[in-house]
Structures are given as C-alpha cells and as structure tokens.
Structure 1
Amino acid sequence: MERVALRTAAVTRGAARLLAALGHAVLREVPLADGRRADLVCLGARGEITIVEVKSCARDFLADNKWEEYRAWCDRLYFAVDHDFPQGLIPADAGLIVADPWGGALLREALEHRLAPARRRAVLLRFARLAARRAEAAADPDGAADTLSPD
C-alpha cells in the first residue's frame, strides 16, 4: 500500500474510533443517493447525521471540490486530517478532527445545518439498510455477497 493510502487508512481509523467513543454509529465508505461516496457517515443518539471527509494531504484537499456536495446529506460536516495537515485550509464552518491510527481529537465543532425531514428519512433508511447488509455479509459471506448495494 502506498504512503498516501496508509495515511488515509490511519486517519479514517482514528476518526471512526473517536466518533464511536462519542456515541455515534459509524459506517465507512457510504454511497450517497447522488452517486458520491462519503468516507464516514455517523448516526448520533438523537438521529443526527454527520459526514466526515478524510483528507490525507493538502494536495488531496485542494484537488477535491466535491466535498461541498456532502452538506446536502448531513446535519454536520467534518474533515479528518493527520497532525501534519495544514489546518488553515479547512473551511471555518466545517468541523475539524485530527486523527492517527489509535484515535483522534475533535478540534472544532461543525456548524449545524439540519436536514429536511424527507431527506433525513432517506439518509437514515440508506444508513440502516447498508449497515444491515454489511452485518449479514460478515455473518454469512457466501450468502450475502450480492446484497451489499445501498438500495
């Protein structure tokens, strides 16, 4: 695995651990209804939906403008980066998590932009169905292999 992929995996793991410790249910690599794929989608205890976009380096951040479209699918948007990332690049209204393979720290809360009820329901159903399919595939890899699509 190349260095950038290792860094991305480390930050993803640490951010997921942090969010789980904060009480969120976390799914990785979640396809959204618009065809995008979120690095982490998290469901809070009160039904709040958080998306975390993992950035491995400044070049990764600067080359990717699609993250702005994730706001339409969550109540809060965060970026997760490693300790060496130039944090000044992260937009002020997005949350900031600094992570390594063992965990992370929430440095800045994201501004809230509540989803409309119909959109929330659609995202929650997608989250639940994907989580159930992944759990079944883990329990019965041969029987559930073809059921991992989000819908």
Structure 2
Amino acid sequence: MDDSPLPSQPGFRIARGVSRLLRSLDHAVLSEFVPERGLRVDVISIAANGEIWIVECKSCRADFTGDRKWQSYLDYSDRFFWAVDAGFPDEILPPDTGLIRADAYGGEVLRQAPLTKLAAARRTRLTRDLARSAALRLQMLQDPQGAGQGG
C-alpha cells in the first residue's frame, strides 16, 4: 500500500513518478535543483555509472511552450528528458531529446535521450553541488531547528 501523500499539482505528480522510475533504475534522485542562479530543474539524478540526467516535467502544452530556459539545462546533464502524462501531445517535443511517460506512481522511458558527456570540470562542480544540496536537505529533515546554523 502506498501511504505517501499525493501531490496536488500535475507537474509535481509527474515528478514523483519520474523519481520513482529513476530510483528503480538505480539513480540517486533530487528534485527542484538549482544548477546555477536563474535555473531550476524539476528532477536531476546520478546513475550508478555516473551519468547525470535532467528531466523536465510538463503537464500541458502551455507549460511546454512557456518554458524558455530548457535548452540551458543541456549544459548540466549527460542526458536530457521530458516527462509528460498520457494526455500530453508528444509530437510538440523536440525529437532529439529523451521522453518519459509518467504519472504519480511511476513512469516508463519511451525514448532514450542521446548521450552528451559533460566536461570534467562541470561534472565535478555539479556533483559537489548535488551532494551538498542533498546533504543539507537531509539535515533539514533530521533537525529542522539546527539545520540553519551553518557558517
């Protein structure tokens, strides 16, 4: 039985399903990550082989057409995917990107994203930033009052 709270917004529901899919593929997953000021990716993950994937979740046509930053995310991933629900018009998505069909409970990779390896310096910085972000979030969960006492 699944007792976890179900997100109310469609994009968050898709992101939860994507996160579950990626965990089933042995990825370490983080949602709502900021790779640099002005950018926020929906889901980012590190695979067991070290590949970094970014998944942007789109709940409708307007959500996709209004996204002006997605091409900037390509510089922060080895593979870039769109995640959409069953009613999304897939034909509007760029064909040279990955495609995941997802709902709140899971997902499926319909089209693998092409591999574009990150530069070593960018990978090192991004991996460090992901680790710090994940550790700070875990600390906040474990000790909400003490988590903000950093230097």
Relative to the length of structure 1, the TM-score reads: 0.91
1:104 alignment counterpart:
107
- What does residue range 17-28 of structure 1 map to in structure 2 within 5 Å? 17-28=20-31
Uncovered stretches (5+) of structure 1, i.e. residues with no partner = none
Equivalent AA in structure 1 for residue 19 of structure 2: A
- Which structure 1 residue ranges, 4+ long, deviate > 2 Å from structure 2? none
Partner deviation per Cα, 1:110-141 (whole Å, 9 max, x = no partner):
01110000000010000000011111111101
Q: Deviations over 1:57-103 (max 9, x none)?
A: 01110111210100001101000111000001111111101111110
**2:34 aligns to what?**
31
Gaps of 5+ in 2: 1-7
What secondary structure is seen at the aligned counterpart in 1 of 2:9? helix
Cα 1:146/1:17, change in 2 over 3 Å: farther
Percent of counterpart pairs with the same letter?
A: 44
Structure 1 residue 35: deviation in Å? Answer: 2.6
Matched to 2:61, the amino acid is: A
Cα distance in 1 for partners of 2:78, 2:51 equals 6
Aligned to 2:3: none
> 2:149 and 2:55 mapped to 1: Cα distance?
27
d(CA) in 2 for partners of 1:146 and 1:20?
A: 31
Partner of 1:91: 94
Following superposition, the deviation at residue 34 of structure 1 comes to: 4.1
Equivalent position to 1:65, from 47, 68, 84: 68
Find out whether 1:11 has 2:17 as its counterpart.
no
Structure 1 residue 54 corresponds to structure 2 residue 57: yes
Task: Determine which of 80, 84, 89 is the counterpart of 1:77.
Answer: 80
Helix, strand or coil: the match of 2:130? helix
CA RMSD, Structure 1 to Structure 2 (Å): 1.2
**Separation of aligned partners in 1, 2:76 and 2:37:** 9
Instruction: Decide whether aligned partners of structure 1 residues 21 and 104 sit closer, same or farther in structure 2, where only a CA change above 3 A counts.
Output: same
SS at 1:123 equivalent:
helix
Residue equivalent to 1:122: 125
The TM-score normalised by the length of structure 2 is 0.91
Shift of 1:145: 3.7
